[in-house]
Amino acid sequence: MKVCFVTANWPPEASGGTEQVVVALARELRALGVDVFAISGSDRFRTHGEDVEHETHDGVPVHRVRRYFCEDDANGLVHERLVRIVRHLLLKHRPEVVHVHAFSRLGAGITPICREFGMRVVVTFHDLWVTCARYFRVPADGIRCPTGIDRGPCVPCIAELLPGADQAFIAAALQRRDHVLRAEVALAHVATAPSATAARFVRECLPFAAPIEVIPHGLLRPVPVEHLAERWHPGKPLRVGMFGGLVAVKGVRELVAAVAGLPCELHLSGPFHDAGLEHEVRARVAANGNRLVLRPHYTGAERHPARDLHLAVFPSKCQETYGLVVDEALAHGVPAVLSDQGAFAERAGVGGVVVTPIAQLASVLRELVGSPEKIAALRAAIPASLPTIVASAERHLELYRRLR
């Protein structure tokens, strides 16, 4: 069986959560005998060269389509040149199933092509882009993110990104956006999402009437027992931290504030995408008196940062749709404290996890840091087995076969 993954990006250009998932899913599907190739967008605009760059990543052929500046989301979601390129690639390679992991970067107009060629379409809602022009449903200050199909608060929220834009123009653009995306996803034969929360947002806020099957991403790679983090022994420094992209919406500032005055080290692993935020964090941690350990970069082939923690904290302000970092922390034997945003709230019943409103983060950490017994109990409660990308691949293959 030949399957085409359609994505917004692909390593090595980008290695965010969705990119990590699609690469791992492709790897496991190939192990099950599926012929996988990818049509990928790009964050880099085309200034010279060919429309499509052909490359291979971990055995997967990747056809990377470059956009012009005028083909970004602000100029609509259907771009005829990009549609022609995708059409040509699908006609040339003739997959039986097209699995769309993201419409952003390439835009809409893909599912009608698949229907025309008799190709089956699976859509996975990795993020909330189909319900939010800002991706993450994190509104600007003073704006409350709406529920359902209300777009009233979205107009001033988007206007913050487009200074001087007429609000009536923005409202009309959002209406067109909804119309295009509803039509696009309506042509999918099957829809999946990594969490019940992600599925609910799409059902209620796009809206989307068809069933959405929840298939957790799970752990992307097994963790050998020798890679488990060391247990915390009182008398030694308690290592508290987070890993992944270090951006404001992931709650970096909130974590720094919450550990102020606590007897612990703060470990932050991953890139700061804002030099100003990094400078602020360094200054505030120094003023707090905590020891700061920074690890700007790490790859899957290197020592995982969870191995150097006793307690992982992810106080995200995003409406999270899954949370790969939570699986990674737990798989390394590290309890996790999470905000109650989005799919993180679903983890409340999982052993080794504490879910809390961000406003209560400092008091929760103060209680845990002062009680070695509670941290030990959290670690002991971590499940012996966690969802895996292998199970996700097996379930998606079942769906592909059923469609074929």
Q: What is the DSSP letter of 306?
A: G
Q: Which of 74-83, 121-130, 160-169 has the highest mean pLDDT?
A: 121-130
Give residue 302's pLDDT band: very low, low, confident or very high (50, 70, 90). confident
| Mean pLDDT computed over 280-298 | 94
The per-residue pLDDT of the chain, averaged, comes to 95
Which pLDDT belongs to residue 391? 98
Record the pTM: 0.95
d(CA 90, CA 181): 21
Give 89: exposed, middle or buried? Use CB within 10 Å, 0-12, 13-18, 19+. buried
Pick from 306, 321, 319, 386: which is nearest to 351 by CA?
A: 386
Which pairing describes strands 60-65 and 52-57: parallel, antiparallel, or unpaired? antiparallel
Q: In what order do the strands lie in the sheet with 60-65?
A: 52-57, 60-65, 35-40, 2-7, 97-100, 120-124, 190-193, 213-214
pLDDT of 242 higher than 90: yes
CB-CB neighbours of 213 under 10 Å: 14
d(CA 246, CA 254): 12
For the segment 308-354, what is each residue's pLDDT rounded down to a tens digit? 999 999 999 999 999 999 999 999 999 999 999 999 999 998 999 99
Which pLDDT belongs to residue 299? 78
Pick from 375, 374, 388: which is nearest to 331 by CA?
A: 388
SS3 category, 378: helix
Which pLDDT belongs to residue 75? 86
For the segment 12-61, what is each residue's pLDDT rounded down to a tens digit? 999 889 999 999 999 999 999 999 999 999 999 988 888 999 999 999 99
Which pairing describes strands 60-65 and 35-40: parallel, antiparallel, or unpaired? parallel
DSSP characters over 9-27: --TTT--SHHHHHHHHHHH
For the segment 77-119, what is each residue's pLDDT rounded down to a tens digit? 999 999 999 999 999 999 999 999 999 999 999 999 999 999 9
Pick from 139, 149, 157: which is nearest to 175 by CA?
A: 149
Give residue 278's pLDDT band: very low, low, confident or very high (50, 70, 90). very high
d(CA 372, CA 367): 10
pLDDT of 301 higher than 80: no
* Beta carbons of 404 and 1 less than 8 angstroms apart: yes
Which pLDDT belongs to residue 73? 84
Which pLDDT belongs to residue 47? 81
d(CA 111, CA 122): 9
Which pLDDT belongs to residue 315? 98
For the segment 187-204, what is each residue's pLDDT rounded down to a tens digit? 999 999 999 999 999 999
Give residue 136's pLDDT band: very low, low, confident or very high (50, 70, 90). confident
Q: pLDDT exceeding 90 applies to what percent of the chain? A: 91
Q: How far apart are the first and last CA of the chain?
A: 9
* Beta carbons of 193 and 321 less than 8 angstroms apart: yes
